[in-house]
């Protein structure tokens, strides 16, 4: 080995030791290794920060912003309500959502499929009272498995088809990968749903009580004109209210509270439902049932907000402007373009309409206000703001524009009309211009430690390849298979490819391993397609680390995982894939 190769192998070894140790954060370890590589001269200084502009790094950042837009628009809520039940056990949930993810990944980029379903999974975990770490990793693995089914499902398949075109004169067709891919994906998903998720550290069937300590407010939502439930009893909302965690405590008509909870009273346009709920449940109930915050005049004032709307929680003090008065009396709406959404009063239930209820010192108010004037409103009220809990307002009227932008971008990228990075960038720009994601929130949705991890590791991987390190590995592999049966060579190629995919990104691994596979097939005088299909499966199955596949990197922050958590489920899943994929490849793509 050359000096550069020895240094790079040592750097990679050190990185993985420190990452598995877990005492230092992964971005600090990776960035330190990059700087050390530059100082030692194995990473060219002009290429040192190229990883931060690499498409893989940019895609990760863009996907997180797109995911936030899909949540804010209500697209995630639509999928959650129609397909996902928070009451299911973890295994059933993984089977259903993972199956959806696998199917989507076969026909769209698997990164985009995860971008769509990741917020759904997080929202479902919140409703079920469990940690998202129990299901995010299985979902990531399911979308990776689904991507190997078609030519466009994952970049390694596209790379391998191109290499086949260059070396053998003909590319793979759209569904040439499907026979082996479907069998492998089904076996992998079955393992993950039935057993694999139990291997993730810190997970269980349910954590319980995830929302019990959150502040519950008495709030109002108004029934708009032409609402589908007009004429039906208030009790018609019961199922949705129970599902979202909202308690209906009354009905207000023409400014007056109706007797009791009015469960059997027919709804009319302009009626206000008096509710008790915590903020996110209140927003979910409003968005899913298409109810209004307040009357049209008040909403017209709020809709003029340039940076969108925010939900703000404040505590009323003895010296607050609103203490002893109502929101109507101080002119909160017309003076500050702010609507009093709810009041939380410990020890006493509020039974009158919210904006006409005198506020007391110690009450907690839930305010809906333009984002650009949050501080001004809090100061004007003389109240104390609570810690920001990231409460968001679902813009359910923008659901179809958000979905349309996303689908157009995904289809364009899947069929090669536009690069995925450009497509996702266009979606982010569209979301910003249409205020689906307010401008002030865009950068807050990016997991910057993950960006630093990728930006640091990509130049190190490129240096390993340019120094001949990957060729050295290929040479060792060729020597180890001399004189062995063809299926042993095929198995060894898959094992080494899977290991490489945990260190390099899966696309780079496919570029290195596919030519090696063709050369091995020629030496053994067997059909090279068997080796190319095997490389496609192995390169896609990057389950051992968060840096082997962008999907694993995407869930690193939201799932709260450590670097060493992945191999616990990823290693046995890799074994399952080997046991299933090797005979499937030999059956559907015979060696002779």
Same structural domain for residues 493 and 573?
A: yes
Following CA atoms 178, 182, 185, 186 in sequence, which dihedral angle do they give, to the nearest 10 degrees? Answer: 180
- Taking only the tens place, the pLDDT of each residue in 372-401 is 788 888 999 998 888 666 566 676 678 889
Residue 88 within a domain: no
Max avg pLDDT among 243-252, 354-363, 578-587: 578-587
Q: What is the pTM of this model?
A: 0.67
Q: Which domain holds residue 351?
A: 309-392
Q: How far apart are CA 588 and CA 183, in angstroms?
A: 11
Cβ(544)–Cβ(575) below 8 Å: no
pLDDT for position 295: 53
pLDDT for position 505: 64
pLDDT(278) > 90:
no
Cβ(510)–Cβ(19) below 8 Å: no
Same structural domain for residues 505 and 387?
A: no
DSSP code string of 58-123: HHHHHHHHHHHHHHHHTHHHHHHHHH--TTS-HHHHHHHHHHHHHHHHHHS-HHHHHHHHHHHHHH
Residue 582 within a domain: yes
pLDDT for position 204: 47
- Taking only the tens place, the pLDDT of each residue in 535-563 is 999 998 889 888 878 889 889 888 889 88
Same structural domain for residues 350 and 468?
A: no
pLDDT(72) > 90:
no
Residue 535 within a domain: yes
Place 51 in a pLDDT band, splitting at 50, 70 and 90.
Answer: confident
Cβ(101)–Cβ(143) below 8 Å: yes
Query: CB-based contacts of 579: which residues, under 8 Å, 6+ apart?
Result: none
pLDDT(33) > 70:
yes
Percentage of the chain with pLDDT > 70?
Answer: 89
Percentage of the chain with pLDDT > 90?
Answer: 22
pLDDT for position 305: 54
- 79-93, 188-202, 218-232, 549-563: segment of lowest average pLDDT: 79-93
Residue 209 within a domain: no
Average pLDDT over every residue of 6-12 = 90
Query: CB-based contacts of 575: which residues, under 8 Å, 6+ apart?
Result: none
Q: How far apart are CA 275 and CA 252, in angstroms?
A: 11
Max avg pLDDT among 104-108, 423-427, 513-517: 423-427
Residue 534 within a domain: yes
Max avg pLDDT among 95-109, 410-424, 573-587: 573-587
- 89-93, 164-168, 207-211: segment of lowest average pLDDT: 207-211
pLDDT(18) > 90:
no
pLDDT(110) > 90:
no
Domain count, the chain: 2
Residue 423 within a domain: no
pLDDT for position 208: 41
pLDDT for position 211: 42
Residue 245 within a domain: no
pLDDT for position 590: 92
pLDDT for position 449: 83
Average pLDDT over every residue of 503-511 = 74
pLDDT(205) > 50:
no
Same structural domain for residues 577 and 481?
A: yes
Domain end marker among 392, 420, 447 = 392
Domain end marker among 358, 392, 426 = 392
pLDDT(504) > 70:
no
Place 429 in a pLDDT band, splitting at 50, 70 and 90.
Answer: very high
- 125-134, 399-408, 526-535: segment of lowest average pLDDT: 125-134
Please name every residue paired with 339 in a beta bridge, in sequence order, or none if there are none: 368
CATH (domain of 340)? 3.30.70.1450
Domain end marker among 392, 421, 443 = 392
pLDDT(183) > 90:
yes
Distances 209 to 90, 127, 241 between C-alpha atoms, Å: 16, 10, 18
Same structural domain for residues 488 and 572?
A: yes
Same structural domain for residues 363 and 475?
A: no
Cβ(268)–Cβ(233) below 8 Å: no
Average pLDDT, the chain: 83
Residue 352 within a domain: yes
Same structural domain for residues 369 and 470?
A: no
């Amino acid at each position: 080995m050359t000096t550069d190769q020895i240094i790079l192998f040592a750097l990679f070894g050190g990185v993985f030791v420190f990452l598995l140790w877990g005492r230092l954060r992964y971005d600090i370890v990776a960035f330190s290794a990059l700087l050390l590589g530059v100082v030692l001269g194995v990473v060219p200084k002009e290429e040192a920060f190229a990883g931060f502009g690499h498409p893989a790094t940019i895609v990760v950042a863009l996907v997180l912003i797109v995911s936030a837009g899909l949540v804010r628009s209500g697209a995630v809520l639509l999928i959650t309500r129609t397909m996902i039940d928070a009451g299911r056990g973890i295994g059933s949930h993984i089977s259903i959502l993972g199956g959806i993810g696998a199917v989507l990944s076969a026909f769209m980029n698997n990164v985009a499929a995860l971008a769509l379903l990741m917020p759904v999974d997080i929202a479902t975990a919140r409703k079920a009272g469990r940690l998202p770490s129990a299901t995010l990793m299985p979902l990531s693995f399911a979308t990776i498995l689904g991507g190997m089914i078609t030519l466009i499902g994952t970049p390694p398949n596209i790379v391998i088809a191109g290499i086949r075109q260059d070396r053998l004169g003909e590319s793979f067709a759209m569904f040439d990968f499907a026979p082996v891919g479907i069998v492998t994906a089904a076996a992998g998903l079955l393992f993950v749903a039935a057993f694999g998720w139990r291997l993730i550290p810190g997970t269980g069937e349910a954590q319980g009580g995830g929302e019990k300590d959150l502040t519950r407010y008495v709030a109002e939502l108004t029934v708009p004109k032409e609402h589908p439930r007009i004429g039906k009893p208030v009790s018609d909302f019961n199922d949705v209210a129970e599902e979202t965690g909202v308690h209906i405590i009354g009905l207000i008509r023409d400014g007056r509270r109706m007797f009791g909870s009015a469960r059997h009273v027919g709804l009319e346009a302009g009626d206000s439902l008096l509710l008790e709920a915590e903020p996110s449940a209140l927003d979910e109930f409003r968005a899913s049932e298409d109810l209004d915050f307040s009357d049209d005049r008040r909403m017209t004032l709020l809709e003029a907000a340039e940076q969108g709307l925010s939900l703000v929680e404040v505590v009323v003090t003895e010296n607050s402007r609103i203490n002893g008065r109502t929101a109507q009396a101080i002119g909160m709406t017309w003076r500050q373009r702010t609507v009093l959404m709810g009041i939380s009063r410990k020890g006493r239930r509020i039974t009158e309409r919210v904006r006409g209820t005198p506020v007391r010192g110690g009450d907690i108010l839930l305010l809906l206000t333009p984002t650009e004037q949050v501080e001004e409103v809090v100061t004007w009220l003389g109240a104390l703001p609570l810690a920001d809990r990231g409460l968001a307002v679902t813009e359910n009227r923008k659901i179809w524009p958000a979905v349309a932008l996303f689908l157009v971008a995904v289809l364009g990228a899947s069929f090669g009309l536009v690069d995925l990075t450009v497509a996702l960038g266009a979606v982010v720009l569209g979301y910003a211009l249409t205020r689906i994601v307010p401008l002030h929130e865009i950068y807050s949705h990016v997991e910057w430690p993950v960006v630093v991890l990728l930006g640091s590791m990509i130049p190190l991987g490129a240096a390993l390849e340019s120094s001949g390190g990957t060729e050295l590995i290929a040479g060792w592999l060729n020597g180890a298979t001399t004189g062995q049966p063809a299926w042993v060579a095929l198995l060894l190629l898959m094992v080494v490819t899977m290991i490489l995919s945990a260190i390099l990104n899966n696309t780079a691994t496919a570029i290195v391993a596919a030519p090696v596979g063709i050369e091995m097939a020629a030496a053994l005088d067997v059909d090279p397609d068997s080796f190319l299909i095997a490389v496609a499966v192995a390169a896609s199955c990057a389950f051992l680390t968060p840096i082997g596949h962008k999907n694993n990197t995407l869930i690193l922050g939201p799932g709260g995982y450590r670097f060493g958590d992945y191999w616990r489920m990823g290693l046995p899943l890799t074994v399952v894939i080997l046991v299933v994929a090797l005979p499937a490849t030999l059956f559907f793509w015979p060696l002779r």
